[in-house]
Every structure is written in structure tokens, then in C-alpha cells.
């Protein structure tokens, strides 16, 4: 799974930039700002990371079913998990 980190704890701000983040081409370990919010391509993460994080009580889990995308929110970060085979529109 590919992971994109969005550094904000504000759901409304995250929602406002979500589509723009998905359409922004990022290289692995690249960091940039989208509407003043830091976004980074965190590379590939193992499936067990996602499983472990979902079990933590402080983690909010959201699913985008039609795209098989999982979003975790914890502390000051939203992590967007995209299957490696999923093509993000650039």
C-alpha cells in the first residue's frame, strides 16, 4: 500500500484538500505544501501496519469504498493508504 501523509488535525481542512492531494504527483519521500498544509509521500507500507493501526483506540478509520482507499487519522496527521495498483489521476 502506498501512504500519503497529510499533516493537519482539522478534518474540515483535510476534506477541503483531499482530492487535490490525490491529484498531486509526489515522488517517494517527497514533501510539499497543498493550500498551506504539508503533504508527504511516505512510500510503501506493509499491510500489517494498517492492521495494527486500525486496532488502536486513538485512531479514526475511514474508507473510500469505490476506490479501495483507507484513511487513518491520529494525532496531527491523516494517512491515506492507496493500493499499489490504484492509479491516482495526475
Work out the burial of residue 78: count CB atoms within 10 Å of its CB; fewer than 13 is exposed, 13-18 middle, 19 or more buried: buried
Q: Which among 81, 88, 83, 79 has a CA at the least distance from the CA of 5?
A: 79
Contact 31, 39 (CB under 8 A): yes
pLDDT of the residue at 47: 84
Tell me the mean pLDDT in the region 3-24.
Answer: 96
Contact 80, 6 (CB under 8 A): yes
Give residue-wise pLDDT tens across range 25-74: 898 889 999 999 999 999 899 989 999 999 999 999 999 988 889 999 99
Evaluated on CA atoms 73, 78, 81, 86, the torsion sign reads positive
Q: Which three cell numbers stand for residue 33?
A: 505544501
Amino acid at each position: 500500500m502506498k501512504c500519503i501523509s497529510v499533516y493537519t488535525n482539522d478534518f474540515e481542512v483535510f476534506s477541503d484538500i483531499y482530492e487535490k492531494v490525490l491529484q498531486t504527483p509526489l515522488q517517494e519521500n517527497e514533501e510539499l505544501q497543498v493550500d498551506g498544509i504539508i503533504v508527504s509521500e511516505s512510500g510503501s507500507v506493509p499491510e500489517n501496519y494498517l492492521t495494527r493501526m486500525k486496532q488502536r483506540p486513538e485512531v479514526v478509520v475511514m474508507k473510500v469504498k469505490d476506490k479501495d482507499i483507507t484513511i487513518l487519522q491520529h494525532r496531527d496527521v491523516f494517512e491515506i493508504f492507496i493500493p499499489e495498483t490504484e492509479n491516482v489521476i495526475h
